Amino acid sequence: MSIKAIAKPARTLLSPNDHALILIDHQSQMAFNTKSIDITILRTNVAILAQAAKAFKVPTIITTISKDTFAGPLFSEITDAFPNAEVADRTTSNGWEDEDLIRRVNAVGRDRLVMCGLWTSVCCNGPVLSALEQGYEVYVVTDACGDCTIEAHERAVERMIQAGARPMTSLGYLLELQRDWARLETYDLTVGIAKQYGGPFGVGLQYAKAMFQSHVDKA
């Protein structure tokens, strides 16, 4: 008996209303010794995530570690997107052990979480493994994470995947939320974020629009 295809998305694909985003410790001090990814690329990827979550109204939890005494301020890419956000500052390297952060997770009430942070092997790894053990479905945006070495980052990602986490990228996250270019209510927002932060893909969008407009003007 042959299988009949159905025009519907996989259950594991993300949509704006089925998850929460947790941004963990994207702070100055944590970035100083991040060597597994270029810091400019990392900040760009974090900007894509923050702007996507804002555009699609995804519940977003922002957490820092010892902001005033150790790790310093958040990336401006996050505060630009969420200037009035209540940030959960904590002392535990594993945010999942912090009562305030857990209160916010429970208040959002989503069983599916998307996480990323600095460093991958510590402040991201701890909450991901802890949430998975408690039954949450967890996605990790690996290119919005970073660590002291490539080895540390890669081993942490492997460990999280082995525990059941699903890896993805920042641009993939944005495009997965849009998923259908006929969704006109978020089309301009998605294209705008991609053009500003999406690297070659964004440049391609700018080029295509310019060339199309040029042909229209000459017609």
* Rounded-to-10 torsion of CA 33, 39, 42, 48: 140
Active site residue 145: no
Query: Which tokens go with 59?
Result: 């519940």
Angle 22-86-138 from CA coordinates, rounded to 5°? 10
Cα distances (angstroms) measured from residue 55 to each of 22, 48, 151, 173: 16, 10, 34, 12
Round to whole Å and give the CA distance between 116 and 77.
14
Catalytic residue among 123, 124, 145, 148: 123
Q: What amino acid positions are annotated as catalytic residues?
A: 123
